[in-house]
Amino acid sequence: MVLVLALGDLHIPHRAADLPPKFKSMLVPGKIQHIICTGNLCIKEVQDYLKSLCPDLHITRGEYDEETRCLETKTLTIGQFKLGLCHGHQVIPWGDLDSLAMLQRQLDVDILVTGHTHQFTAYKHEGGVVINPGSATGAYSSITYDVNPSFVLMDIDGLRVVVYVYELIDGEVKVDKIDFKKTTATTHSAH
Amino acid sequence: MIADGVEDEEKWLAAGIAGLQQNAFYMHRALDSNNLRDALKYSAQMLSELRTSRLSPHKYYELYMRAFDELRKLEMFFKEETRRGCSIIDLYELVQHAGNILPRLYLLCTVGSVYIKSKEAPAKDVLKDLVEMCRGIQNPVRGLFLRSYLAQVSRDKLPDIGSEYEGDADTVVDAVEFVLQNFTEMNKLWVRMQQQGPAREKEKREKERSELRDLVGKNLHVLSQIEGVDLDMYKDTVLPRILEQVVNCKDELAQYYLMDCIIQVFPDEYHLQTLDVLLGAFPQLQPTVDIKTVLSRLMERLSNYAASSADVLPEFLQVEAFLKLNNAIGKVIEAQPDMPILGVITLYSSLLTFTLHVHPDRLDYADQVLGACVRKLSGKGKLEDNKATKQIVALLSAPLEKYNDIVTALKLSNYPRVMEYLDSETNKVMATVIIQSIMKNKTHISTADRVEALFELIKGLIKDLDGTLDDEVDEDDFKEEQNSVSRLIQMLYNDDPEEMFKIICTVRKHILAGGPKRLSFTVPPLVFSSLKLVRQLQGREENPFGEEESTTPKKIFQLLNQTVETLSNVPAPELALQLYLQCAEAANDCDLEPVAYEFFTQAYILYEEEISDSRAQVTAIHLIIGTLQRMHVFGVENRDTLTHKATGYSAKLLKKPDQCRAVYACSHLFWVDDQDNVKDGERVLLCLKRALRIANAAQQMSNAARGSTGSVTLFVEILNKYLYFFEKGNPQITVAAIQSLLELITTEMQSDSSTPDPAADAFFASTLRYIEFQKQKGGAVGEKYEPIKV
């Protein structure tokens, strides 16, 4: 069982002061094996904080990020799954599933994680899963109204991944989960 | 020489101990054979060692302790003797035959102890006799130890309430009288030590006196333990007598120690009830006594007492503690005009802590204290003393911690005035403390007035105060400071739009004075606060009967325009462009076409004139296209102009792949799902074809420059876009077009001159899989995809 935390669009300090305290108390160091972050943290302090939760931290660049040397896209393999990471402002139209699916095909990944819209979504389609963990701080977005703070925790176990989404609604943390199964194991050979 | 002196002392001590032990040995032999006479003879000889003048108090103590142990055994023997029939009165008389007075008195005290225990005489008579006889020793060190011995052996034999020694004639009054007398005499001896010896050894004497102070203080401790000493007795007898001695002895060391001792040893309720008397003593002390420390400790004790339970608070009010302390401090400061500023601040700091604990609701008291501080600080200019500045920070932090609410602290009118006296470094430190307090307590500052007051307080962070040099500031520290200001802006909030707008204007006024370095930190949070307000107003109906002055989105957009403009001073064109686009989207949601167009214009101007870095251009283009794609407010003309420009920029990006991608992204500008009038199939196809041409050109360039045609990735991307629009029902995208693109890619991949690229291969493979999958879907989609051959 491998736990992967997916979050992003915190926009600290431009649009939010800090993570909600209820989230902060849930995110304890040592419990999570990987963190993937879609971008727009925006400052180093936040990066340091995430690193303290888990040293294996992957970030892609959001347009407001202070750190400009991050990559635009990233891929990594965790267990049987290939994951792709991208902030999402590069994929137009923003939030459009078909365009995101194209990116997924291009990166050749089972799970694509993007952000930018501050809206949690999890789409399943023939190629795999597209997840948007939303904004962990509930930051203002021109695209989404009434953003609830949210993040995603993925539990990868063999060919199965359970996606837990944590949303802060009216002061309470609500959890939902979605199951995905891969049909075939990842092959590593080139075509 | 000192080294010699110490060596000598060691020798004498060793000799003294040897003598003592030898006589003790003989004394024991006598005790074992019940030989009273010999026991007395050898014990007197043993005690003679204590007659020495050669030892420092520290060493004398060692000798004394050994004697003390031996005397315990002697006392037990005396007790046995009385049981065997020897008369205690006789014994009492017998020991007075010892030759020298010091051994005589030690023996007398020892017998006296047994005498009291036997109850053959009232305790008070024996005690009185002993305490007076001890006057025979006027040498300070010897006298102090002797009386200390007396205190020790009499401790458990005082006629206290409920003790076995209490009787009709013996009361607690006598016990108190005894201890007070012993104390008085001991203090006199102790003070006399100061006069002994040559003037140049003053320091040494003071050190020696320090070593002995607990002997004197012990008496006060004993007094505090006497059950019968209740508040009345303390007020009427004990305290006045002690204070009399303290004041009259006119000795700096004694006064300081004893005042502190009184405060530490007696209960806090007593202090409260005798506050007048206690405080009244301070002005009578020697001018060199460190009164401020003692006063501070008194206030500290009382503060803790107040904090311990709410029940005691009424008592404080009843005795008007605050008033008395305030006056006392005022008098002390007046009496010592040369008191260093650190002392003054320490006093007021303790008083403030006291006030916060005892009168948490009396903001006026707290303000008074701060006001007194300001008056004392005025005329001195900015503080240079590090310790004093630290103390001021502690002074100012106390209300923050107590109230957990900056708003309350803001009501203290003297608070900002105290801050005026801090140098800029400390000002910043204090400002940071204030911000941290707000963040920790999640306080929302909700009126423009309070925001104004707050920003006045933290102005050290908001702008360069006079006298600061830019170079001095560490870059990382600066970033941290400004980020905290940024976060702070998130906490300034009010549900009421009018008030919120006022808050925004206030904040804006302050941050614009911050200079170019700060703007890129402070402008974004202000912009987003404003956009949130716009969204809030959006939800409401525009009130046609509303006042001219009321806040409207239009007004906010005007303000935003002017605010984002200031970033050109930094300069920060990329940030400004992003913010303009955010504003454009917000204007779009408000259906304000001219406003949205203006924002786009500003963004485009920045792109053309200020953004020259390739990578920055790519990001900017993506944002422009992404934003424009979502606009529904533009009429045809405006939309066309903006779209035309955007496609133009895309085609002029430096690197061919970037060009290609930007151009095919532009295709989405002509096809928006939820806007039926924006579904121009032809223009979409034109974009895609243009993208293809660029991809081709890229291949050719690659061939020319490197000998191989490079990767087919771009073609696969464009293919995917063809499929996208094909699915959406763009009639211009035909099966044939798709088919030929498929063949093109396949050919390219198989060609000799192509660079093998596993990623591109995988991409193509998954695209083909997608096509297959769509075919399998059946229904309308399946039918569409059916003709495509892979």
pLDDT band at A189 (very low <50, low <70, confident <90, very high): very low
Determine whether the interchain pair B724/A13 forms a contact, defined as Cβ–Cβ distance below 8 Å.
no
Asked whether residue B642 falls in the same domain as residue B531, the answer is no
Structural domain includes residue B668: no
Determine whether the interchain pair A106/B717 forms a contact, defined as Cβ–Cβ distance below 8 Å.
yes
Determine whether the interchain pair B626/A94 forms a contact, defined as Cβ–Cβ distance below 8 Å.
yes
Structural domain includes residue B709: no
Q: Where are the domains of chain A?
A: 2-181
Q: Is the confidence at residue B61, as pLDDT, over 90?
A: yes
Residues in chain A with CB shorter than 8 Å from the CB of B626 are 89, 92-94
Question: The tokens of B69 are what?
Answer: 């142990």
The pLDDT assigned to B707 comes to: 78
**Closest Cβ–Cβ partner in A14, A89, A127 for B528:** A14
Q: Out of A12-26, B28-42, B395-409, pick the least confident.
A: B395-409
- The complex's ipTM works out to 0.94
Structural domain includes residue B398: yes
**Closest Cβ–Cβ partner in B535, B672, B727 for A145:** B535
Asked whether residue B145 falls in the same domain as residue B248, the answer is yes
The pLDDT assigned to B466 comes to: 67
Q: Is the confidence at residue B80, as pLDDT, over 90?
A: no
CATH, domain range A2-181: 3.60.21.10
Q: Is the confidence at residue A191, as pLDDT, over 80?
A: no
Asked whether residue B296 falls in the same domain as residue B413, the answer is yes
Mean pLDDT to the nearest integer, B453-461: 88
Question: The tokens of B239 are what?
Answer: 């305290």
Instruction: Say what the pTM is.
Output: 0.80
The partner residues of A82 in beta bridges, in order of sequence, read A77
| Cα(A54)–Cα(A47) distance, integer angstroms | 11
Asked whether residue B258 falls in the same domain as residue B132, the answer is yes
Asked whether residue B134 falls in the same domain as residue B261, the answer is yes
Q: Which of B180, B159, B168, B128 is nearest to B227 (CA)?
A: B159
Closest Cα in chain A, distance from residue B622 (Å) = 6
Determine whether the interchain pair B623/A89 forms a contact, defined as Cβ–Cβ distance below 8 Å.
yes
Structural domain includes residue B558: no
DSSP chain A: -EEEEEE----BTTT-SS--HHHHHH--TTS-SEEEE-S--BSHHHHHHHHHH-S-EEEB--TT-S-TTSBSEEEEEETTEEEEEE-STTSSSTT-HHHHHHHHHHHT-SEEEE-SS---EEEEETTEEEEE---TT----SS-SSPPPEEEEEEEETTEEEEEEEEEETTEEEEEEEEEE-SSPPP-S--
Asked whether residue B295 falls in the same domain as residue B406, the answer is yes
Q: How many domains does chain B have?
A: 5
Q: Containing domain of residue B536, as a range?
A: 431-540
| Cα(B429)–Cα(B147) distance, integer angstroms | 54
Asked whether residue B99 falls in the same domain as residue B191, the answer is no
Structural domain includes residue B59: yes
Residue B775 contacts A, CB cutoff 8 Å: no
pLDDT, one tens digit per residue, over B541-600 is 666 555 666 788 999 999 999 999 999 888 999 999 999 999 999 999 999 999 999 999
| Cα(B160)–Cα(B222) distance, integer angstroms | 11
pLDDT, one tens digit per residue, over A99-120 is 999 999 999 999 999 999 999 9
SS3 B445: strand
Asked whether residue B417 falls in the same domain as residue B520, the answer is no
pLDDT, one tens digit per residue, over B749-785 is 888 777 778 889 999 999 999 999 999 888 888 888 8
